[in-house]
Structure 1
């Protein structure tokens, strides 16, 4: 029986996070207190699909979800490429773990406004560095 690589387990958890990060936004949209939306705000889908109409934390929840997708999809593809090339190493192990926790910290910090400048952009850039490290692992596995 083959072992399940940690990187794929972390990727699974990351995709669960990505698939679930819409929940804070929808909760925020559907719990808007009376009078918190402009009087001329449309009803229904248009209201839900326009984050600028909502409270600041709801807007941040929307952006946190998009930010995770912006980095999570490329990272996931890179992990799958490394898996395909049988290139998992200590570097990919720690990069996957770091990326997951950076994305959790980014989402929580963004939604709660606890991670302000310069912390939130630093976390985002560190996630990008993780993508670069995983891309390096793809090329290292390909030439190795």
Structure 2
């Protein structure tokens, strides 16, 4: 029997879309590295120390790493809020704020735009903070 609070939670779409965003990061990182190093490198075991050295591949890798640093916290907070039964309030706004900021972050990072990128990152942290506050209050 499926719990009704899980089946009806408005957090589920943002969680689902966050997985899609994770896949975008993985594909972007892989495509930029493959463009630089070639499909033989990508298809091979990558045993050596050969890594992409270009700006775009490096930025894609760092943007992905940055996303993956916050992603477990987002997932934990989202499921915590689902379990707490507060699906429509400030926590949900925080979840969407985190998600939208993480989308905006990608092109800013790839383009090498400073300061604005950092402000967007702060926006994503505010989203997580909202989720956290709702969960502990």
TM range (shorter): 0.7 to 0.9
1:68 and 1:56 map into 2 onto residues whose CA distance is: 18
Inter-CA distance 124–103: structure 2 relative to 1 (3 Å threshold) = same
Give yes or no for the alignment of 1:121 onto 2:121.
no
Runs of 4+ with deviation above 6 angstroms: none
Deviation at 1:65, TM superposition (A): 0.7
TM-score normalised to structure 2 length: 0.80
Q: TM-score, normalised by structure 1?
A: 0.77
RMSD: 2.4
Structure having the higher helix fraction is 2
Segments of 5+ residues of structure 2 without an aligned counterpart are 39-43
**2:29/2:61 contact within 8 Å kept:** yes
Output the CA distance in 2 between the equivalents of 1:120 and 1:90.
27
Residues paired across the two proteins, number: 128
Q: Which runs of 5+ in 1 are unaligned?
A: 35-42
Which residue of structure 1 lines up, in the alignment, with residue 58 of structure 2?
59
Displacement after TM superposition at 1:56 (Å): 0.2
Residues in 2 aligned to 1:28 and 1:108: alpha-carbon distance in whole angstroms: 14
1:9-35, Cα deviation, whole Å (9 max, x unpaired): 11110122113311112111212279x
Kept in 1: contact 2:94–2:129 (CA 8 A): no
Moved more, 101-110 or 23-32: 23-32
- Pick closer, same or farther for the CA change 1:48–1:132 going to 2, 3 Å: farther
Question: 1:91, CA displacement in angstroms?
Answer: 0.8
The answer to whether the 8 A contact 1:7-1:92 is kept is: no
User: How much has 1:47 moved relative to structure 2?
Assistant: 5.9
